[in-house]
Amino acid sequence: MTATTSTPPDAEHDEGWQAQLSRELQVVAFPARQDELLATLIRHRAPARLLCRLATLSPTRRYTCVTDVLDAVALGAPAS
């Protein structure tokens, strides 16, 4: 009997979110706050799943670059 592993549907749908978010944020003038990042995604009609990722960021912190944003999202930075 062959063991199979299945990928959760959310994981397949979410594959590549970092690359997509990175592309969307290339036009941002850093440093930027969460509201500025979200506004950029909204203007570019980015998928809601990317907006949800940025919702976890602190609204008061100024992010210095795309990598800073990606790191904070990956860590699940709590909103404060």
Nearest residue to 78 (alpha-carbon basis) of 65, 60, 64, 29: 60
| Phi, psi for 29 (deg, rounded to 5) | -90, 105
- Characterize 32-67 residue by residue with b for buried, 16 or more Cβ atoms within 10 angstroms of its Cβ, and e for exposed: bebeebbebbeeeebeeebeebbeebeeebebeebe
- For the chain, the structural domain boundaries read 18-74
Residues 9-67 have pLDDT tens digits of: 444 455 599 999 999 999 999 999 999 999 999 999 999 999 999 999 999 999 999 99
Whole-prediction pTM value? Answer: 0.75
